[in-house]
Structure formats: C-alpha cells, structure tokens
Amino acid sequence: MPEKPNLEPETSSNARKKDPLVSLARYSEMGFIIPAAILLGFFLGKLADYWLHTRWLHLVGLLFGAVVGFWQMISMALRANKDDK
C-alpha cells in the first residue's frame, strides 16, 4: 500500500525566520510604508482641497499620513520583535 504524501512543509519555522530573503522583504516593506502613507495622505488631501475649494487640507492629509506611517512601522517592528523571540 503506498504511503500518504507528507503535506507539511519540510522547513521548520526557525529556518523560515532566518531566511535572508524573508528579512529583506520585511525591512524593505518598513522602508516603503512611511513614504507611501505620506504621499497617500497628501494626495487625498489635495483631492479634498479640490472638492471642497480649500487650500489647507493637503497639509492635514500630509500630517495624517506621517502619523499613520510611523504608527504602522512601529507596530510592524514590535510584531517582528515578537516573532523573533
């Protein structure tokens, strides 16, 4: 009778954590989050300026994007620190 195939991955979770490509992806994602959040906030603020005929909402969007970007980066760093333990 043939054996059942093993569906579990052969690598352990420790081997995946130490993979350099996984680390590269994690840290490059952290580097893109802040600029992406700032630009998204700025452009959404510009859109709100155009729609509401104001001249200051792009600054609010810029600040909001910066806060959200830093908050997301800090939460990712804390999650990565928890995963390493």
Write the burial class of residue 63 (CB in 10 Å: 0-12 exposed, 13-18 middle, 19+ buried). middle
Please tell me the distance from the alpha carbon of residue 82 to that of residue 19, in angstroms, as a whole number.
17
The answer to whether residue 8 sits within a structural domain is: no
The answer to whether residue 9 sits within a structural domain is: no
Q: What are phi and psi of 50, to 5 degrees?
A: -65, -40
Mean pLDDT per segment of 10 residues, for the chain of length 85 residues?
A: 62 61 83 93 96 95 96 88 74
Q: What is residue 72's predicted lDDT score, i.e. its pLDDT?
A: 93
Q: What is residue 28's predicted lDDT score, i.e. its pLDDT?
A: 86
Number of domains in the chain: 1
Q: What is residue 26's predicted lDDT score, i.e. its pLDDT?
A: 81
The answer to whether residue 10 sits within a structural domain is: no
Specify the pTM: 0.69
Domain that holds residue 65: 27-84
The answer to whether residue 11 sits within a structural domain is: no
The answer to whether residue 6 sits within a structural domain is: no
